[in-house]
Structure 1
Amino acid sequence: MAIKVSIVGASGYTGIELLRILNLYKEVELVQIISREFEGKALKEVFPFFISTKFSDIKFDKEPDLDSADIYFLAIPHEPAVELAKKILDKNKKVIDLSAAYRIKNFNAYPEFYGFEHSYKELLDKAVYGLPEIHRDKIKNANLIANPGCYPTATLLALYPALKENIIDSDTIIVNALSGISGAGRGLKQKFHYPEAFSNSFAYNPTKHRHIPEMEDQINQISGKDIKVRFTPHILPVSRGMISTVNFKTNLNKKDLIELYRLEYRYEPFIRFQKTPPEIKYVIGSNYCDIYVDLDERTGYAVVITAIDNLGKGASSQAMQNFNLIVGIEEEKYLKNLSEISIIYP
């Protein structure tokens, strides 16, 4: 029997990426796609590059039918996702939420960083953070998956082995990250228009980015320590892709540091070690995280650099990795060669 799936927010970048990947799945029946903007229009009419896919004739609905699907992907803003996830869970359905609505266990972080009061502390406690390399076993039995943000995915994968083995010798981690423009979503914002962004790069929210509490929440859970993140995000004039450069003090030598990372990730299907700093172009359209580990022996700082696709491993293909775990499909199935699919948008 097919697994029935609904995508709420199917016309945004992450929703489109979910559709691109779901088209590969023989086990899935897509029962509904939601977009208030395109209500009543067929997928192929709005996005012609889907014309030759099995979903081409499905039409956008305005509101989700909470009885029609087994699993709901929420690719909508954070605050409405809080309420919708609760309604879906009350119907005994499963939710993979691509917003930040349930990512942070710290109840008080939401008003400060997201501008709204969270209504469901009990669901926050039950939600599982959907980073398989860290929480695989919990994901398999979860009803509510809080799919990680793109910056936290790139950063936490750069930190996890060091945090797990307690080799970080400071209470502050320094992170500089660069993202493609699609990370800002499809909404119209002047800074991200082509004439503004072309041949340009800039930092934004350098002291209070909303992904900081998400990173620190996971860092503190893994390490058991109150470690702060000095995080500076930047925009790159590319459509998609992300680089995160992470620095932390350690007493480990270079050889042992590299060996620690290779041992921790040796069985991870979507971690690829690189001998030189990774490049965005090699992860575009994929679910891979390319990683480079080094030590600046002059300063004693570890240098760990990761590259991911912010719409892939940073969002939708990671959501599908979580989907595979939840429904009992082989974790790697359909996700190994995503970059070879002809549809890459944007």
Structure 2
Amino acid sequence: MKVSIVGASGYTGVELIRYLSFHKDVEIAQIVSRQFSGKKLSSVFPHFSKTPYEDLIFEEDVDKESFDIYFLCLPHEPSVELVKELTDKGKKVIDLSAAYRIKDIHKYPEYYGFEHRFGELLDRAVYGLPEIFRKDIEKANLVANPGCYPTATLLALYPGIKEEVVVGDTVVVNALSGISGAGRSVKQHFHYPEAYGNAYAYNPTKHRHTPEMEDVIKRVTGKEIKVRFTPHIIPVSRGMISTVVFNTNLRKEQLVELYRLEYRYEPFVRIVPQPPQIKNVVGSNFCDLYVDLDERTGQAVIISAIDNLGKGASSQAVQNMNIMTGLPEDKYLKTLSEISILFP
């Protein structure tokens, strides 16, 4: 399969190149970056020297005709238009932006600042969280790759909402993310002197990922369950922890068994006996889940850890590609967790 990676010089684009470099069923035929147009991959990212794609040249414009699958690692608004053009040509598209994740078209002006004009295509887009929507992904031509916070949170929440053991209409989520989640663009508060030794919450009452999570919860349960979500930045380059708390009537052993049974056949979800650490998932497509119950308050406490650039973005995109094209879901993904991280 020939693939194009659009926005290939950002963190998620570079991660896609890394993962797909090991994928024997894929040829990376085009990498697009206006910033580095005309330059060799290895001259911009030297860690790709002496790899199969070291001489691949960044291009300025997207070839919309020649390739089988397009990975879009662009900002949300440019993705809206490009997804439409590519799908009209019958291409398979995996969009890593938020442009097609939320089914409610009215949420885009409120949370993303633009009017979404393609409601019919929005309805056809499949949310790319395989553990929930695998059957839909198998038949999809357009997959909206989930955000990193929603991936970590929804995997922690899914068995509870699926089996209706969440009591009440609100879940509380506190999440911690590495700085790479903000992308490669220059911003003062992400400079090393500003970020080192620092941690802070941001957008604590109106984060863009809140409607995405609530949208998926409603699709699974048919209910309006609110997510009380607080994201935080921590001074690490990559990795994410999400702590999900909800009221339940289950005992601890019942809760643990519920999660164990739900995920027993999932190749990339691991139920762990201690609260997870990001160092155990960085560079991989794994989600580590810890399940506990605060018996004093009657609240479930589910903690998940993912790599925000892996299962939260690029490796999950490859997982979706495998599913869309009929390949084994974990092909060339499981072994990569043992390979040293190539990160600029």
TM-score range, shorter chain: over 0.9
Pairs aligned (count): 344
Can you list the C-alpha shifts for 1:231-290, whole angstroms capped at 9, x where unaligned? 000001000000000000001111111111101101000011111100000001000000
Aligned residue number for residue 193 of structure 2: 195
Aligned residue number for residue 2 of structure 2: 4
- In 2, Cα distance between the equivalents of 1:344 and 1:285? 9
Residue 168 of structure 2 aligns to a residue whose secondary structure is: coil
Aligned residue number for residue 23 of structure 2: 25
Residue identity opposite 2:123 in structure 1: D
Aligned residue number for residue 145 of structure 2: 147
Divergent runs of 4+, >6 A = none
Contact residue 177 and residue 244 of structure 1 kept, 8 A: yes
- In 2, Cα distance between the equivalents of 1:119 and 1:345? 36
Structure 1: runs of 5+ lacking an equivalent: none
Q: CA deviation at 1:133?
A: 0.2
- In 1, Cα distance between the equivalents of 2:92 and 2:42? 28
Contact residue 31 and residue 68 of structure 1 kept, 8 A: no
Aligned residue number for residue 103 of structure 2: 105
- In 2, Cα distance between the equivalents of 1:337 and 1:176? 31
Aligned residue number for residue 254 of structure 1: 252
Can you list the C-alpha shifts for 1:291-340, whole angstroms capped at 9, x where unaligned? 00000010011000000000000000000000000111111111002233
- In 2, Cα distance between the equivalents of 1:148 and 1:184? 15
Aligned residue number for residue 305 of structure 1: 303
- In 1, Cα distance between the equivalents of 2:16 and 2:181? 15
Q: Is it true that 1:221 corresponds to 2:219 in the alignment?
A: yes
Aligned partner of 2:72 among 71, 74, 78: 74
* TM-score (norm. length: structure 2): 0.99
Q: CA deviation at 1:28?
A: 1.0
Q: CA deviation at 1:344?
A: 2.5
Aligned partner of 1:235 among 227, 233, 236: 233
Aligned partner of 2:91 among 82, 86, 93: 93
- In 2, Cα distance between the equivalents of 1:202 and 1:222? 32
Q: What percent of counterpart residues are identical?
A: 69
Can you list the C-alpha shifts for 1:165-193, whole angstroms capped at 9, x where unaligned? 01111111000000000000000111111
Aligned partner of 2:123 among 114, 125, 129: 125
Residue 219 of structure 2 aligns to a residue whose secondary structure is: helix
* TM-score (norm. length: structure 1): 0.98
Aligned partner of 1:316 among 310, 314, 317: 314
Q: CA deviation at 1:85?
A: 0.3
Residue 167 of structure 1 aligns to a residue whose secondary structure is: coil
Aligned residue number for residue 154 of structure 2: 156
Structure 2: runs of 5+ lacking an equivalent: none
Q: CA deviation at 1:223?
A: 1.2
Contact residue 49 and residue 343 of structure 1 kept, 8 A: no
Q: CA deviation at 1:29?
A: 1.5
Residue 241 of structure 2 aligns to a residue whose secondary structure is: strand
Q: What RMSD, in angstroms, separates the aligned Cα atoms of the two structures?
A: 0.7
Contact residue 4 and residue 30 of structure 1 kept, 8 A: yes
